[in-house]
């Protein structure tokens, strides 16, 4: 391994180390209560070292958000590529999101943390960067709906609005996993997601 490659690896390892500390603090304290000093202390690095890699704490948390969204995007891309019909592609998107929420809980919690916060936490530069990453994920569902419309399998609908409807429904239902032993009376939230998904797909099917 050359010295340049070794330096690049060390740089990436240190950035990952910083993000790990920031992730822990974000989920424990929230963004406003977390400081760069706390991140530096938990990661056992100096504040100056933190600033070598990130401009400020918002930059750190935007990197965390992008990291999670990129992982989700990659998971869904593989699932969609393996599906054939537009309907199966939409199922792949929805079930990929469900699987991500279960197998990558920390990243899912970070994504939902920023989604559920009423105020805008990032300056426009960072928000636009994060939104572009999230927009790629929405694109899979939009493309599947538009393909179904072109093939005549789906009726003519606003593909973007139907996609946002699907994501809102999925996001809300997944939160119900916290209530399986109370409100849901032990009914699986995963079963509810499947039920909602199949009924959602019925709204797209064209009349024959």
- Look at residues 51, 59, 1, 71 and name the one whose alpha carbon lies nearest to residue 31: 59
Give the per-residue pLDDT at 80: 95
Confidence of residue 100 (pLDDT cuts 50, 70, 90): very high
pLDDT higher than 60, residue 118: no
Report the first-to-last Cα separation within the chain, whole angstroms: 62
C-alpha span between 106 and 75 (Å, rounded): 16
Spatial contact of 111 and 71, defined as CB atoms under 8 Å apart: no
C-alpha span between 90 and 25 (Å, rounded): 35
Within 13 Å of residue 7, how many CA atoms lie on the same side as its CB? 3
Secondary structure element (H or E) that encloses residue 70, with its range: helix 57-82
Reported pTM = 0.81
Name the 3-class secondary structure at 155.
Answer: coil
pLDDT by residue (tens digit) across 51-84?
999 988 888 888 888 888 999 999 999 999 999 9
- What is the chain's mean pLDDT, rounded? 88
Query: Who wins on pLDDT, 79 or 129?
Result: 79
């Amino acid at each position: 391994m050359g010295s340049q490659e070794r330096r690049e690896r060390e740089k990436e390892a240190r950035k990952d180390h910083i993000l790990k500390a920031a992730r822990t603090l974000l989920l424990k304290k929230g963004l406003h209560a977390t400081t760069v000093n706390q991140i530096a202390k938990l990661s056992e690095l100096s504040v100056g070292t933190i600033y070598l890699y990130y401009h400020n704490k918002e930059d750190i948390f935007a990197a965390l958000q992008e990291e999670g969204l990129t992982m989700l995007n990659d998971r869904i891309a593989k699932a969609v590529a393996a599906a054939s019909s537009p309907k199966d592609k939409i199922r792949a998107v929805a079930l990929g999101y469900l699987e991500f929420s279960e197998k990558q809980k920390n990243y899912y919690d970070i994504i939902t943390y920023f989604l559920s916060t009423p105020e805008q936490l990032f300056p426009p530069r960072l928000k636009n960067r994060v939104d572009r990453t999230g927009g790629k994920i929405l694109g899979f569902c939009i493309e599947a709906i538009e393909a179904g419309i072109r093939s005549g399998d789906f009726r003519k609908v606003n593909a973007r609005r139907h996609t946002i409807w699907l994501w809102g429904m999925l996001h809300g239902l997944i939160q119900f996993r916290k209530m399986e032993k109370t409100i849901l009376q032990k009914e699986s939230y995963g079963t509810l997601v499947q039920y909602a998904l199949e009924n959602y797909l019925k709204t797209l099917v064209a009349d024959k």
